[in-house]
Structure 1
Amino acid sequence: MTSANRPLRKLGFLTMGLFDEADPFTGHQNTLQLITLGEELGFDSVWLRQRHLQFGISSPVAVLAAASQLTERIEFGTAVIPLGLENPLRLAEDLATVDVLSGGRLNPGLSVGPPMRFDDFKTHLYPDSWEQENFSYTRVERLLHNLRGEPVSSFAGKAGVVEEYSNRVQPHSPGLADRVWYGAGSLRSAQWAGEQNLNLLVSSVTTAEDSADFDAAQSRQIELFRERHRQGGAARVSQGLVVIPTDHASAEQKLRYRRYAASRLERTRSPQGPRRMLFAPDLVGDSSDIAEQLAANRAFRMVDEVAFALPFSFEPEDYRQILSDIAGSLAPKLGWVRPGNPGPN
């Protein structure tokens, strides 16, 4: 095991679920197969990105409903659902349904703010109200209200002969609201998530505020989150860096992986754009090297849960190799113990 302060307790992975526009079925099937592989390899969780008007998963809730019937143990997360495109009452119904179907395995990850490229499609999304829509944290608060089973209607009881109504969202899934995560990339969002006693998702993208160093900026967000959370240092945080172990990769795969990382390296050298975005470098190499790099990462040393992000544009066989090496080689070096394995005496 490396010198990380916290042995890795929860191992997860994150996928975008790309598909060919001419053959969306195959892409979605590949994602479902990847989820079942993750369970076979012992991963504790799988997280789905959400992409709208792109060739990636637009409805992670629907995909996870299907996955719930193909798996028994692995937990499901969304990283993240942008609430600017959602009605919090309808989304609460969908989330609770998947949580019931999966036996309480859902971890909804959320974000707020205007949707990406909102001006391009706002009149189709909200034709009568796009100027009045509230994209603030209030949307999360409304969703939490619904997931907690608090009243959303002034009527409950029978109407007519057979119709019976509830005054709260149905189905109600107890405990789901406690498994809500917020995807934070700034000090303000990390502080707010802590004050709401949510769980925190951090990724390979953040913003330069107190520091232009990615690790320093992210670790400060984690600190602030836990300072404001009622559970303090025990508050849950999951980190989502891109890691690509090559232990059992072919020579061709290794070359392609390194070229991929090199093509994205320049953006990691300084803050990008008016929002001063910071990007973490992709970690490519054998598991021992990646474990040492992670051990030197202060933010990683502050967490005991990860959702390692898979690269966007690789082939299914690449993802199988990467996941197999993460679970079989890298994660044990980080202190992770596969479920059902008591580990060393």
Structure 2
Amino acid sequence: MPRRGDPLRKLGFLTIGRFDVADPRPGLEETLDTIVRAEHLGFDSVWLRDRHLQPGISSPVAIMAAASQRTRRIELGTAVIPLGLENPFRLAEDLATVDLLSGGRINPGVSVGTPMLYDHYKTALYPESHDLQDFSKERVLRLLRGLRGEPVSDFAGTVGIEQFTDSIQPYSPGLADRVWYGGGRDSAIWAGQQGINYLTSSVVTIEGTESRDFATIQGEHIDAFRAHHAAPERARVSQGLVVIPTDSATDDQVRRYRDYAASRFDRTTSPQGPRGMLFSPDFVGTSDELADRLFEHAGFQRADEVAFALPFTFGPDDYTQIIDDLAKRLGPRLGWQPPNGW
């Protein structure tokens, strides 16, 4: 675990892939260029946020497919695909196809629950069945069954000259073991029980804890996940926080970064909403300052890989500076090193 002196095993970041609604292609190309740049810098992973009816990545599987043909080593993940808008049968086919094309580098992160603003577009999404949809964790299990090659049809054989199987095709060995699930304490326990991986983020819920400290709660969630996993020694946990190193930033960038963090600080002081959602403060500072803060963070101490989130509203030059500093300055201070020969 990455306490001071213990190395961070995997370094990654999360991007929303913003674009201009009137001209989306340049933004999509920018996301692909960012992934290529990340591989050149030695990052272990890039994660794509999934957003619908917004100017951001709505089809992360398509982006991963394109990125898989421009890269050869970096892992490509989603954080997260909301399964309420997906058919697990079809998603399993797409994920397996892209995983094979990538050489086994796909890490599908998923979540469940009623989609955000569902009432506004449910008839467009599910015209006849919008009030009958099951948004429970069963949707994850359906996806896992498909990825594991379990039967999804009661027929296998030949019809005329066409051959049919009873399982999802193509099948990509090992992909089901790279599925991730995100959420609070109950979700962490459930993910552990299913033997899948656990994504944490900059939001936790206070359910099941007496603490009101974000880092403590995140640490408790990770402990609960490992305690319920059949093989905790191989269970993967990724921590996601907004972490902005300023080592090579201009004075203007530093000012804007600090203003951004300050504008979001009030929401971190107390739980929000009926579920008690608690937000993490954003981390802004030099890599030496950030390393000190992270080594003292109870969540970071329990995860050996990270996917630091890029802020939504910054420009291309800002992202380039942040990504460069993460790889060249903060990563090494956390004990991380790029792969051999990179």
What's the TM-score, normalizing by structure 2? 0.97
Which residue of 2 is the match for residue 337 of structure 1?
337
3-state DSSP of counterpart to 1:232 = coil
Which residue of 2 is the match for residue 21 of structure 1?
21
Backbone CA RMSD of aligned residues = 1.2
Which residue of 2 is the match for residue 254 of structure 1?
254
CA distance in 2, matches of 1:302, 1:153: 41
Q: Does the 8 Å contact 2:5/2:335 carry over to 1?
A: no
CA distance in 2, matches of 1:25, 1:239: 30
Deviations 1:176-200 (A, max 9, x none): 000000012x211111011001100
Letter in 2 for 1:202: T
Aligned length: 339
3-state DSSP of counterpart to 1:203 = coil
Report the CA distance between 1:158 and its aligned residue: 2.2
CA distance in 1, matches of 2:120, 2:216: 35
Letter in 2 for 1:257: Y
Residues 80-159 of structure 1: pairs in structure 2 closer than 5 A: 80-159=80-159
CA distance in 1, matches of 2:134, 2:267: 32
What's the TM-score, normalizing by structure 1? 0.96
CA distance in 2, matches of 1:71, 1:94: 19
CA distance in 2, matches of 1:87, 1:276: 30
Q: Does the 8 Å contact 1:47/1:78 carry over to 2?
A: yes
Q: Does the 8 Å contact 1:49/1:78 carry over to 2?
A: yes
Report the CA distance between 1:41 and its aligned residue: 0.3
Q: Does 1:164 align with 2:170?
A: no
Q: Does the 8 Å contact 1:83/1:140 carry over to 2?
A: yes
Q: Does the 8 Å contact 1:6/1:303 carry over to 2?
A: no
3-state DSSP of counterpart to 1:127 = coil
Deviations 1:197-226 (A, max 9, x none): 110000001111212211111111111111
Report the CA distance between 1:4 and its aligned residue: 3.0
Deviations 1:124-160 (A, max 9, x none): 1111111111111100000000000111112222221
Q: Does the 8 Å contact 2:80/2:110 carry over to 1?
A: yes
Residues 278-317 of structure 1: pairs in structure 2 closer than 5 A: 278-317=278-317
3-state DSSP of counterpart to 1:7 = coil
Which residue of 1 is the match for residue 206 of structure 2?
208
CA distance in 2, matches of 1:187, 1:339: 33
| TM-aligned CA distance change 1:193 to 1:3, over 3 Å | closer
- Give structure 1 stretches of 5+ with no counterpart: none
Deviations 1:84-114 (A, max 9, x none): 1110100000000110110000000000111
Which residue of 1 is the match for residue 174 of structure 2?
175
Report the CA distance between 1:341 and its aligned residue: 5.4
Which residue of 1 is the match for residue 196 of structure 2?
198
CA distance in 2, matches of 1:17, 1:279: 22
Q: Does the 8 Å contact 1:5/1:301 carry over to 2?
A: no
CA distance in 1, matches of 2:178, 2:64: 16
Report the CA distance between 1:232 and its aligned residue: 2.3
Which residue of 1 is the match for residue 11 of structure 2?
11
CA distance in 2, matches of 1:213, 1:3: 19
Letter in 1 for 2:171: H
3-state DSSP of counterpart to 1:66 = helix
Residues 314-325 of structure 1: pairs in structure 2 closer than 5 A: 314-325=314-325
CA distance in 1, matches of 2:3, 2:114: 41
| TM-aligned CA distance change 1:317 to 1:221, over 3 Å | same
Report the CA distance between 1:122 and its aligned residue: 1.1
3-state DSSP of counterpart to 2:200 = strand
CA distance in 1, matches of 2:128, 2:232: 43
| TM-aligned CA distance change 1:308 to 1:38, over 3 Å | same
3-state DSSP of counterpart to 2:121 = helix
Letter in 2 for 1:176: L
**Between the two proteins, what is the percent identity of the paired residues?**
62
3-state DSSP of counterpart to 1:298 = coil
Letter in 2 for 1:170: Q
CA distance in 2, matches of 1:124, 1:40: 41
3-state DSSP of counterpart to 1:142 = helix
CA distance in 2, matches of 1:5, 1:188: 31
Q: Does the 8 Å contact 1:68/1:102 carry over to 2?
A: yes
CA distance in 2, matches of 1:214, 1:40: 33
